[in-house]
Chains A and B, each alone.
Chain A
Amino acid sequence: MTAKLDSGTSQGNGRRRIASLACGVALLLSACGSGGGAVSTRNEFKPVEQTGGKVTVWVDSTRLAAAQLYQKQHPSVPMEIVTYDGNANGSNYLQTKVSLFNRTGGGWPDVVFSSQNNETTWAVQAKFTAPLNKGLLPQSLLDGWAPGANDPCTVDGTLHCLRNDLSQTVLWYDATLMKQWGYQVPTTWEQYEALGKQVAAEHPGYLVGSAGDTFTPEIYLWAGKCGANQITGPKAVTVNTTSPACTRMAALLDTLIKNGTLSVSSVFSSDFGKNHAGKILMMPGPAWYGGALFQGTFKVPAGRIAVAPMPQWSGDNTPSVGNVGGGTWLLSAHSANLKAATDFLTWVTTSDDYQGKVAPGYPAYGPAARTWLANQNSSGYYAGDIAAPLQAAAGQVWPGWGYGQFSQEAIWAATVTPGLNAGKSIVSMLPDWQNAIVNRARADGYQVNQ
């Protein structure tokens, strides 16, 4: 069932190519279907000839279970399931392949999962995505998504992908250690910093967080309302990494890195697993930390890990959290079997069978999220209720940080991480960080305000 990537061309390609060619010629001759009066139909979606046939689905290894479950429940649907890297860490595999398919005029998958949430920034321009809220999916269904969840998928009011999971940040902590050492879970960043200093003095070696990942800015600086990534239009961004909001959070990180309570190794690195994994008191991080990190990677025993709301700066009465990823599903505009492809897309993003009961991350679709939370709570793994803080955080992701074409994670990794490894402070690197963001944004054709 799972095929290697390069064997994925289906028989319908030739016909599809002819159909799209015919439409291309027709477009030139008659502006393809401009009979609708005054409304501009330049961007109206014209499906290719619906010849049916196999639905090709690209998923990463984590989402493979979803596609296989669907196939098991719907054996009559002809499917080809292909695993790929899911574009993880901005590998750009999908964009590379789509641009090659666009050149050769065939080979596009029908439905794709991407672990990135900024795919629309190139995929819409590449005319790869089918618009979902213009007749393919009913608005009543789309209203089920958490507020703002599909923002990264929306371009000029048109929905071009569906959010798979939310990655709102919360404060994960070890409830057993907290109780044993008599600490209070911090609710403000000031308390968080003070507790970090206390841990450094009383329990050296233990961590209150990690600053070694490429998504460090998305956990701390996004939550701290640092305007490093204010996407103001499809090709416009405002960048200011030296505002008080940025320097305040960066200084907090510097203090805790210096006293050893924040790690500068990635939580997924072999170094972290060896030296830090068993010594975590607290860790601000996204919703998927619970299953993927504490349970899956660090194998923390059941009954210890708990969730609290993200700390806030005292005096700030509009709570804000960050966001780390949250995958998306894209439907190909070139699909010759839109009906089957849309059915799969709907099932995989909304069904309780997958999103509610199997998915590792917090589902972006509200009703599935409720099932998921109930399941997590009843699993007995967590200490206390994790539903309330996660649900509250889902609506508090700071909207001042956008989803641009350039990868903020890659920029941080190349600019700030080497400095951290060499012992430089984050505050001292904020101007370099700004410079790097500006350069990357300009290279992608963005209008940059500073």
Chain B
Amino acid sequence: MSSRVRWRVRAGHGFVAAYVVLLVAFGLVPTGYAIAFAFTDSTGAFAGLANFAAAASDFRFAAAAGHVAVYLVLWLVTLVVFVVGLALLLHRVTSRSLSRSLRFLYYIPGALAGSASVLVWLFLLDPAVSPAGFLLRAFGFDTFGQVVAPEHLPVLFTLIAFWTGAGGWIVVMYGALNTISPDLIEAARIDGAGAWQTARRVQLPLLRKWIVYMVILAFAGGTQLFVEPQLLSQASVGVAGRDYSLNQLSYDFAFRNDNVNTAAAVSVELLLVGLVAAGVFVVRSRFFDAD
């Protein structure tokens, strides 16, 4: 018995060790590297906040920050509302085979690699080749250029991100709903709660931590918006999506303007924003409290 426990502990350490190695190599070391770059100039001398000032005063910075903010609001709201809503609906589906095939259907787009699924969208959004071209034309869009007009971009990126990323979360939420004891639901039903009240008073409060977890990760992912605008920019030959997000700006600083230090400053800012937001969510939701 005790040797078995020891073996389990050791196996646990083994798994964690592999993760720690990767975390150090691809998480902590690059972060330290970026912080070092952000506070030095191209000669390696300490530069104080000069790189941060250079980034903030660039003509692209405010616009990019605004774009990311609008996108984040749209993306987080749609993610929470639709993921939780769909998971609750899915949970009420009584036919096992239907539930199973729906879960599979939701998950498929997420199984594609991120940039590949964005590429799929580049075709979907071009009325001349899109299988949904009739829908685009019904909205009055006859050319790709009209579809990717600047004011449409936040909605388009939200659509793409939802399609590529939400399926996995629906499956996770569904799993979380399954951990709620059937007795509890049954008790609620006996007390006269309908589907809506059960969801609102019983299931949602119990899902809170899962939702917070999703929001933290989605927030971090959303602030790092890059692949969608970058690929769209290439596909539209620069008409839409160039320098759209802060991450693209950082990329441009590093590789177009040959200014790695300012690029690092932007990425450190993104890291800070992500950490602060995660901290707020964790504290406000008492994420680590034991129930």
Contacts and interface: CB of A to CB of B under 8 A. Distances in A.
Interface of A: 89-92, 95-96, 99, 122, 125-126, 212-214, 264-266, 269-271, 273-274, 407, 409-410, 413-414, 417-418, 420-422, 439, 442-445
23 contacts: A89-B234, A89-B237, A89-B238, A90-B238, A96-B255, A99-B255, A212-B145, A264-B143, A264-B145, A265-B145, A271-B126, A407-B238, A409-B237, A413-B237, A413-B238, A414-B243, A418-B149, A418-B150, A421-B149, A422-B149, A443-B257, A444-B256, A444-B257
Given A270-B126, A270-B129, A271-B128, A414 B238 contact: yes
B154 interface: no
A414 B127 CA distance: 20
Q: Is the interface on chain B under 10, 10 to 19, 20 to 34, or 35 or more residues? A: 20 to 34
B258 interface: yes
B238 A92 contact: no
Contacts of B145: 212, 264-265, 269, 417-418, 420-421
Contacts of A418: 145, 149-150, 239-240
B99 to A, nearest CB: 39
B234 A91 contact: yes
Contacts of B257: 443-445
Contacts of B142: 271
A269 B254 CA distance: 31
B141 to A, nearest CB: 10
A443 B61 CA distance: 11
Nearest to A420: B145
B242 A414 contact: yes
Interface in B125-171: 126-129, 142-146, 149-150
B59 interface: yes
B258 A270 contact: no
B144 A270 contact: yes
Interface string B235-268: 0111110110000000000111110000000000
B149 A443 contact: no
B58, B145, B150, B243 interface centre (most CB from chain A within 10 Å): B145
Given A122-B258, A126-B258, A439-B59, A270 B128 contact: yes
B60 interface: yes
Contacts of B129: 270
A92 B242 contact: no
Contacts of A264: 143, 145
Contacts of B242: 410, 413-414
A269 B148 CA distance: 14
A239 to B, nearest CB: 15
Nearest to A213: B237
Given A95-B256, A122-B258, A214 B238 contact: yes
Contact of B238 (A122, A126, A410): A410
A422 B258 CA distance: 34
Contacts of A212: 145
Interface in B32-70: 58-60
Contact of A269 (B58, B128, B256): B128
B40 to A, nearest CB: 15
B59 A443 contact: yes
Nearest to B244: A414
Given A264-B145, A269-B144, A271-B127, A414 B239 contact: yes
A274 B128 contact: yes
A168 to B, nearest CB: 22
